[in-house]
Amino acid sequence: MKLGKVYLVGAGPGDPDLLTFKALRLMQRADVVLYDRLVGKSILSLVRRDAERIYVGKLPQEHTVPQPEISAMLLRLAQEGKRVLRLKGGDPFVFGRGGEEIELLAEAGIPFQVVPGITAASGCAAYAGIPLTHRDHAQACIFVTGHSKNGQVDVDWDLLMQPRQTIAVYMGLKHLADLTRAFIAKGAAPSLPAALIDNGTRPNQRVVIATLDTMAEKAEKAGVKGPAILIIGSVVRLRDKLDWYAPEEQAHSAEAAEAALAAPAAE
């Protein structure tokens, strides 16, 4: 039997308008789609209608399908000759475990492609009106995950404490209080601006603006559930000028798009 192919595709942070043309084209060609929790209905609805859909989403500390099993599933489906779409939120190679998932495919000689997506830091920050770099504020931006493979806070503090840079913390909501306290303990100013972007780029986006010493309390009061990304740095102050996104308009746009997809084709 002819081997199939696996497409590891980044779906971006949530707004379907941020999909790449290539991602959309492959979504329309796939025989079977394995998708994560962060891939919303508005994106999943763009997949070829008769494609098989398999949910392999993961919650923090509660994996629906273990990582090795996902890789084995991709291998098996490709060996059956299918065009397999592995659809992941954000970018599959930025804290998305994409490299882990395709290692087995590479070893087995299965053909695959990797399609990058807009990662949460750039997408969510843009929709929150926060530039990650700015000549008056930050000459560098660091992406860091809020926990390591064993689920603990594990970051390079010497690297993060450099001046004139923005820090984007992925998957840090669970350890938010520990993270902000650690930043201050390592020498960051308690008054350093921070933004927690909840459900960024989606119709239900919310942004909590605070300082390092008040962020954990404000996030708890706001009832932030995630997915959320934490942006730390003086660039957060620019949001007052640059905030442009209207979630209400996005909600109406998403409803109209879904209605168009559901409508019968014209004769």
Q: Which residues are catalytic?
A: 36, 58
Per residue in 30-49, is it b (16+ CB within 10 Å) or e — as a string? bbbbbbbebbbebbbebbbe
- Signed CA dihedral, 115, 19, 50, 59: sign only: positive
How many angstroms from the chain centroid is the CA of residue 232?
17
Cis check: omega of the bond before 203, within 30 degrees of 0: no
Beta-carbon contacts of 14 under 8 Å, excluding residues fewer than 6 positions away, are: 38, 40, 43, 89, 123, 199, 200, 201, 202
Whole-angstrom Cα distance, residue 158 to residue 119? 24
CB 68 within 8 A of CB 101: no
